[in-house]
Structure 1
């Protein structure tokens, strides 16, 4: 049921106010016409034994206006303008709040807009025409400009606009604008701006103020006109709306101004943990709005929800995603001994104890769980062709299981590493299909010695094409889907650009896979950092970064504190060779 927010100062007579309120209440599409039928929660939840049964029942019981999309939909927000959010939630509005450049201006506009139930737009100076067009579409008669928004915009700019209010930016002006007493709430870190915007409550009249930036004030401004406060629009028929740190302030504020509840998740994938899965349980084919392109497409979001509901086995450290939610520290090597890396320097139990101690050292510098891991070499290039002529040694799966069993039973993670000569990645990956059916076993592809059909391994640094990576990714994603497995780490090793020449063409949007780019260069610190930075150039944001510390080839080997504090961004996966 809609309710009215009544300002102390009346701009018009009581009778006219009542007419205006009725007019404003009717201008939202959600309240023009109630749905003819209200569907109850699906009876299928009665036989649902998943951990999200109660959340599904609650989510499916929501009555959502038919004017909203009836399946998961991502609301794009180019330039963080809030325009698309305004179009989604408001058919029209008598008022609009427009913020200029700067977080302080956006947060002040958001705070006012939520209390006034007014759409909030962001005009930092690069999209003025688009913002003005949205004001015109809304048919607004009163526009509040916060900060340096829309210079030159006045009552003559659009036919229906008859009042343009310039906010002086002061505490006194805020009281004059709304006739309400706002309470300041400081935002200490920029990473919290969206979360705190999503938590704004109209009845509490909170003004969000960033600790690192002051609101520009306009000295000598005349007495400020009052800004009308509208009624809440949603009529308790808004869909579930989700946001993440990447969501725009104005887009989130507009949804809150409409009356929608914002469910905030720390990462734009509901499989992050059980709490975020409960936010969207049962909504894979039902109304759900996601604020920002970081959520992907509606179809991809739907697939992630379905996978999260299907997979109930959590990964080490909790949740259904490999990253984020945890970081990993791994010993790299082969069970045969120390020649191929540090893992094989000791038997499985001792190797587990060693890597657990290493993970504990890293944990001192990280809030997320740091999980012990092994990166186990399964195939390695050879100078000899072998019986199959592929210049690659493939170790039997049973040779690897001792170490894999040990680390996974200890609550850790294992990654099977492929280093073929002339063999294909796919044919080698299939050799370890049974191991990859385990929930806590991922796959790494290392093209360091992968060469052409007429080349000899170890004569040059090898390479792989995007098409070769894609065929493995597709096969592994299908294996995960068919066996209802949690997401897997899919690691690509690279320390030269030519190793993955067409990396940008690799398909990275499989919800079953966490793509990891392992920049495993060695040498002095400056060389390693230079390799790291080069490997990150042009890299898709869908990748998580991994780092390797070499005991014998780094000068010196980075300490845990150096690895986490001097390598930027902080690596999600760190291996030792």
Structure 2
């Protein structure tokens, strides 16, 4: 619905703390016709058009707002608005993401921008004044609503534009902007949720966050000094924010009387009459709860875009977000903030969210959305592990039963899994001379496909002998194209020329691991698959050389270091702690329980409570 024409009169008032926004539907007595100029009722069509907010009909997407050098507030304005006769500009003392962000005036600024349906631009301490000025010029803005005061004043940014002091109480919003608001208190952590939930025409909660309370005044009688630790009431908190509003109204009024190109402080003229965009932007925005995204999210909502607040900055991360994106498949898609990655990464992740199957347990990223409990072995029989002690159906049930034992001890869903030894280290060199027996794909396919149908994740384990891990992995490309199939590299059995299994512990260099991970990441990306698990088996430091050079940058993969040591609880925990030392934080830790070699075998509760940090992948042999 178009916004009625607006006539603004300057006034001064104190700052509120959190605002509930009610969009007014009335017109002023001076401007009875919607869209009429505040100075003339017979404006030309071109003048009327210049006083209408115009949105970009087809925003470019998928796009990260704020990726690269452009601030997210300017990026959002450029993405959604083709022109806007009015803009809201906030001067912040710090920069988005700094400890002093968000400033107390963020609430009134978001309220004004959302209520008027115009962009919110932030001038911060990063020296982006010219960037904001350029954006105002691109928008064709003639009037600005100002909150706060930049270090160098408003002149370099908005000197030639009509300046309207940002209102700081309910009366100011009603008289100056024709918006009805009520004070309310909201936690900083709920700022983005409040903005995302705004519904034009209804009561809307928007926070104005107070700056730190000033020190208590010296009491007249020291004997009755107030306790500084006593909690402030809600009304006192509001007053504190009012006093810390950095003189928004007064500073802007002063600028209006002293800077060239602005009207007198006593001149009743303010914002021109204008219409907000009549059709909402066909776009959806993903944002984390980080208050640094407040301005960009506000601009998106001012344009009518839908906003979803997500815990993880990845479109693939959870089932609800995937469903949301698929429901709005034809809408432009944006992520707010660098946490979503660069433009290419965000586009690839978005494509997966829209078109790839989900993993067992939901979502399309392996961790942290689930933990896995796996049976390890080969389908040929029990001599290589518990997986082969029973047939397919019984193994699936056993994996589910084992995972269920862990569920009471995990806040994350616990998913059953198979780790199938796909190439088996052999005492005989074999026809190819590599001391590794490669299973035929047709012998594994029934296990892999039955597991997928039953919601069981599958990892193909390579004991490559004298063959390289990349060469062996490529033999199983068809299986690895399944969305629920990952890969494991078992360095114990990676042999150098002239070596034989069991004569020594094998070793692999990070370069070979990286070659394998690059191939697997490319396969995953090219086939639009959900993220894949890549396990690196290790029980002593010599098994992986140059471990700190392992490439952990592939977002298509979740890399796990799997601690394979067996023995007493103390020995296993010592191995665990040694392997963790110096490990890249992007690598997820895994653990193995042995039924026969451990003495005793950890219980599920002990595995998830005595081992720190809690393993993400646990296998049984």
- The alignment yields a C-alpha RMSD, in angstroms, of 4.8
Matched, 1:392 2:450: no
Q: Is the 8 A contact 2:88 2:121 kept in 1?
A: no
Q: Is the 8 A contact 1:232 1:257 kept in 2?
A: no
Q: Is the 8 A contact 2:90 2:106 kept in 1?
A: no
Q: Post-superposition shift, 1:241?
A: 2.7
Q: Does the residue aligned with 1:393 lie in a helix, a strand or coil? A: strand
Deviates more, 1:224-233 or 1:324-333: 224-233
What is the match of residue 40 of structure 1?
A: none
The 3 A distance-change label for structure 1 pair 229 and 378 is farther
Q: For 2:573 and 2:173, how far apart are their aligned partners in 1?
A: 53
Q: Post-superposition shift, 1:459?
A: 4.2
Matched, 1:19 2:37: yes
Q: Does the residue aligned with 1:442 lie in a helix, a strand or coil? A: strand
TM-score normalised by L of structure 1: 0.70
Q: Is the 8 A contact 2:534 2:559 kept in 1?
A: yes
Q: For 1:220 and 1:398, how far apart are their aligned partners in 2?
A: 72
What is the match of residue 207 of structure 1?
A: 206
Q: Is the 8 A contact 1:4 1:232 kept in 2?
A: yes
Q: For 1:507 and 1:159, how far apart are their aligned partners in 2?
A: 46
Q: Post-superposition shift, 1:332?
A: 2.8
Matched, 1:508 2:507: no
Deviates more, 1:267-276 or 1:211-220: 211-220
The 5 Å alignment of 1:299-314 reads 314=358
What is the match of residue 241 of structure 2?
A: 217
What is the match of residue 509 of structure 2?
A: 463
The 3 A distance-change label for structure 1 pair 279 and 408 is closer
Q: For 2:383 and 2:456, how far apart are their aligned partners in 1?
A: 24
List runs of 5+ in structure 1 lacking aligned partners: 32-63
Per-residue Cα deviation, 1:112-164 (whole angstroms, up to 9, x for no partner): 43224343345664x1x115641464157545335xx7445355775236758
What is the match of residue 576 of structure 2?
A: 528
Q: For 1:122 and 1:339, how far apart are their aligned partners in 2?
A: 66
What is the match of residue 54 of structure 2?
A: 30
The 3 A distance-change label for structure 1 pair 366 and 118 is farther
Q: Does the residue aligned with 2:180 lie in a helix, a strand or coil? A: coil
Q: For 2:200 and 2:283, how far apart are their aligned partners in 1?
A: 18
The 3 A distance-change label for structure 1 pair 435 and 145 is same
Per-residue Cα deviation, 1:434-469 (whole angstroms, up to 9, x for no partner): 544555333333445435446666445322422343
The 5 Å alignment of 1:141-540 reads 142=144, 144-145=146-147, 150-151=150-151, 153-154=153-154, 159-160=159-160, 163=163, 165=165, 180-182=180-182, 184=184, 186-187=186-187, 190=189, 193-203=191-201, 204-208=203-207, 217=241, 219=243, 224=249, 233-236=276-279, 238-245=281-288, 248-264=293-309, 267=312, 268-269=314-315, 272-273=318-319, 275-282=323-330, 287-296=332-341, 314-319=358-363, 322=366, 326-335=370-379, 340-344=384-388, 348-364=392-408, 369-382=413-426, 385-397=429-441, 400=444, 404=448, 407-436=451-480, 438-453=482-497, 458-465=504-511, 466-475=514-523, 478=526, 480=527, 486-487=529-530, 489-493=532-536, 498=545, 500=547, 502-504=549-551, 508-509=554-555, 513-520=556-563, 523=571, 525=573, 528=576, 531-532=579-580, 534-537=582-585, 539=586
The structure having more radius of gyration, on CA atoms, is 2
What is the match of residue 38 of structure 1?
A: none
TM-score normalised by L of structure 2: 0.66
Q: Does the residue aligned with 2:508 lie in a helix, a strand or coil? A: coil
Equivalent pairs, count? 517
Per-residue Cα deviation, 1:470-510 (whole angstroms, up to 9, x for no partner): 234434655x46xxxx5362414165573655433x7725x
Q: Does the residue aligned with 1:217 lie in a helix, a strand or coil? A: helix
Q: Is the 8 A contact 2:281 2:305 kept in 1?
A: yes
Q: Post-superposition shift, 1:199?
A: 1.8
